[in-house]
Amino acid sequence: MNNKNFTKQILKPYTGSLILFFVLMCMATLFSIASILSVSNFLQILFDTNTELAENPSQLEIILNKVYDYCLSFGKHKALWLFAAIIFAIYFLKDLFTYLGSYFIGSTRNKIIRNIRNKLFEQFSTQTIGFIANFKKGDLLSRVSNDITEYDQNVLQSIQTLITNLISVIMYFSVLIYIDYKNTVLVFLV
């Protein structure tokens, strides 16, 4: 069996879990961005009581300004409590999506490792006694246990980290370009 078919056979049953992980990490990053955007602007408005929009506001600024005005319509004291509840909800959802993403990808990684071990064991069990005699005692067992664990830690975990960080970088960069593309490009070039 070649490597391409083996990889396809191992990963294909978990396509749904991988897509779910991707969606959950996108949601976690989205709520992380929301927490950053909402805190500084609200505190500035709360203490300055200046809710005027900039010259050319973005759609995001317009929406956030409406939320701020709504919160401030209850008075500063109640607005602070309302905003605290909103921030708590945003952080709770960010952490919930991060946890669920980690849970699903951890479960999927364990199932992939189990399947690889089972395939490797099937391959070893169909070999002749002469083939097995060529190896030292415990060498084949080490292949089934230690080498697969190394594969999980070095390959699968690295791919998981790469995907998570790639989602974060793309989404943060997109929001920065949306907020102020000139400064974002300038900082990116520097």
3-state secondary structure of 106: helix
pLDDT at residue 52 greater than cutoff 70: no
Alpha helix positions (H), the chain? 3-11, 15-48, 59-72, 76-125, 129-133, 139-142, 148-151, 157-179, 181-189
Cα–Cα distance measured from residue 71 to residue 80, given in angstroms and rounded to the nearest whole number: 8
Confidence of residue 98 (pLDDT cuts 50, 70, 90): very high
Confidence of residue 41 (pLDDT cuts 50, 70, 90): low
Cα–Cα distance measured from residue 190 to residue 185, given in angstroms and rounded to the nearest whole number: 9
The contacts of residue 119 (CB under 8 Å, 6+ apart) are 6, 10
pLDDT at residue 64 greater than cutoff 90: no
Find the range with the poorest average confidence among 113-117, 134-138, 170-174.
Answer: 134-138
pTM of the shown model: 0.77
Q: What is the mean pLDDT of the chain?
A: 82
pLDDT at residue 169 greater than cutoff 90: yes
Rounded-to-5 percentages of helix, strand, coil across the chain = 85, 0, 15
Report the pLDDT averaged over residues 10-36: 88
CB 60 within 8 A of CB 37: yes
Beta-carbon count within 10 A of 167 CB: 20
Q: pLDDT: is 156 or 161 the higher one? A: 161
| pLDDT score for 65 | 76
Share of the chain above pLDDT 90, in %: 19
Confidence of residue 50 (pLDDT cuts 50, 70, 90): low
| pLDDT score for 70 | 82
